[in-house]
Structure 1
Amino acid sequence: MSRQCLSRVTATVVLSLVMGAASAVDNPTNLAGAIVVSAEQARELQAKGVIVVDARSAAEYAEAHIDGAINVPYKEKSAKAPDFDAAQDAVDLTKLPSDKSAGFVTYCNGHDCWKSYKLSTVAIKAGHSKVYWLRDGLPGWKAKGFPIK
């Protein structure tokens, strides 16, 4: 194999590894304006009447969701990055509590899912003041053995 060919193969492999890693980027560990909660805390909030919001697609919600959660699908096209462009995405905020001081918990598929992070961010920018984010998402809820439907 020629040196030039070997260089191209190496570059292709490196680029593939970098792109693969970039596609599974974990969401941030915190979110300005929101309170990051554990599955236990989310369950306590739900028991107190706080709405739980599933930001995943309707199909994912139908497959399995936190018992009692409502579905507010966040349709994302923007980058999986803290400075995402919400204008590229779609979500129906009218499904959230009309009282913007009423709390709600958002979740999706865990650390590599950005939908609940983005929904929380957009809701905060729209004036919601009591947003709880279950960063561990449905996997964290299931790991605790909490009820799903």
Structure 2
Amino acid sequence: MTTLYNLLFSLVIIVSLAGIPMAAKVPTPTEPPEGVKLISIDEANQLLHQKNMYIYDMRKELYYGKGHIPGAVSLPYKWTKKESNYNYESKFDITKLPTDKNAPIIIHCDGPDEWKSYYTSKAAKEAGYNNIMWLRDGYSTWTTKGYAVEH
């Protein structure tokens, strides 16, 4: 009899949990942080061929190693729970950005549901960089469009 009660209890729990939706990712804003330019995948592809263009990949090194936009430098953003005192210096190594605060910089991560590049773009602007471009659509859209990747 105990087994029957346990089975029924388990069944009730499973059925009730089935109605709870999984947490959805929250997309990044469609507008860039203040002072940052939003660029498309096609614009990024054209810009990569310009001299002195910098592009930073904020994804984990593991994903960068599996493939990345040509010329991109791995600069992993360490995602943690929200902190009361936001300090971007604990999230990524800003010293890897160029010393020239006017250098053109493209920042990206996986795609529009990933906040790493959004926060990095904002932090770079706050640190005094004047030519920050945010590639909101990121690597996933880059590969979907069929553009070249490096491994």
- Paired residues, number: 133
User: Secondary structure of the equivalent of 2:133?
Assistant: strand
Q: Which runs of 4+ in 1 moved over 2 A?
A: 84-89
Please tell me whether residue 39 in structure 1 is matched to residue 41 in structure 2: yes
Please state how far the C-alpha of 1:86 moved relative to its aligned partner.
3.2
> How far apart are the structure 1 equivalents of 2:142 and 2:40?
9
> How far apart are the structure 2 equivalents of 1:144 and 1:85?
38
Please state how far the C-alpha of 1:78 moved relative to its aligned partner.
4.1
1:71 to 60, 74, 80: 74
Please tell me whether residue 86 in structure 1 is matched to residue 108 in structure 2: no
Aligned twin of 1:48: 50
Aligned twin of 1:3: none
User: Secondary structure of the equivalent of 1:20?
Assistant: coil
Q: Which runs of 5 or more residues in structure 1 are unaligned?
A: 1-5
Please tell me whether residue 58 in structure 1 is matched to residue 61 in structure 2: yes
* Structure with bigger gyration radius: 2
> How far apart are the structure 2 equivalents of 1:26 and 1:137?
12
Q: Which runs of 5 or more residues in structure 2 are unaligned?
A: 1-11
C-alpha distance after superposition, 1:94-133 (max 9, x if no partner): 1111101101101111011111111111111100110001
Of Structure 1 and Structure 2, the greater helix share is in 1
Counterpart of 1:114, as a letter, is: W
Contact 1:78 1:85 in 2 (8 A): no
Distance 1:85 1:62, change over 3 A: farther
TM-score by length of 2: 0.79
Distance 1:147 1:13, change over 3 A: same
TM-score by length of 1: 0.80
> How far apart are the structure 2 equivalents of 1:29 and 1:127?
23
